[in-house]
Amino acid sequence: MVLVAALTQHQPRPAPQVVVAPAGTSYYFRVLPRNDTRAAAALVYSLDVPVRGVRLHNDSDFGRRFAINIQYLSQFPLDDLLYWFRRRAGERSPPGQNWGWDDHGPDQPYGLRGSVAGLFMMGAGGTLRWRNDTTLGPRLAALVANISALQEDNGFAMAFPQNETKRVCSVG
């Protein structure tokens, strides 16, 4: 592992502009003026991570933690993970439930739609990188296949409508 610190000159951040959404909506966001100044790395960090030849023994601390992680990830029903993707694709009453981050958060009443599926994919992918599991691997593959099947003709595959992305991202 190599850690090298470099000195950088701090640039003051421009004052943000607060943009209020159109009447009848309940969200707001800040738009910062664009800053094209090249950033210099304050810290160069290098970590060598093995990509093969690592074994997790079931009776080791890491092996036990991975087993707990697999058990936790296995509790997510596939229909729940696909709920908002199916709603976006036009299903009025898809199987599954809306819960967790998908059901609460700053974007009430919808929450952060698709975030539970995203967290599941990150957790399952990170786990499967180090340990093959006969139940978790197929569940992850099924989730990705279902999301792919629900994507729009232009390739859009998020759990929320594409016009909501344009509404927020096109400001400024």
* Bridge partners, residue 43, by sequence: 5
Q: pLDDT of 77-97, one tens digit each? A: 999 999 989 998 988 888 988
Per residue in 99-144, pLDDT (tens digit) is 766 666 555 666 678 888 999 999 999 999 888 899 999 999 999 9
pTM over 0.75: no
d(CA 77, CA 86): 14
What's the confidence (pLDDT) of residue 157?
87
* Number of folded domains that form the chain: 1
Q: Which domain holds residue 154?
A: 2-169
**What's the pLDDT score for residue 144?**
96
Per-residue pLDDT of 33-91, as tens digits, reads 777 888 777 777 677 777 777 788 889 998 999 999 999 999 999 999 999 899 989 88
What string of DSSP letters covers the chain?
Answer: -EEEE---PPPPPPPPEEEEPPTT---EEEEPPP--PPPPPSEEEE-----SS----TTSHHHHHHHHHHHHHTTS-HHHHTHHHHHHTT-SS-SS---GGGTSSSSTTT-STTHHHHHHHHHHHHHHHH---TTHHHHHHHHHHHHHHH--TTS---SS-HHHHHHHHT--
pLDDT value at 171 more than 50: no
pLDDT band at 27 (very low <50, low <70, confident <90, very high): low
The pLDDT value given to residue 69: 92
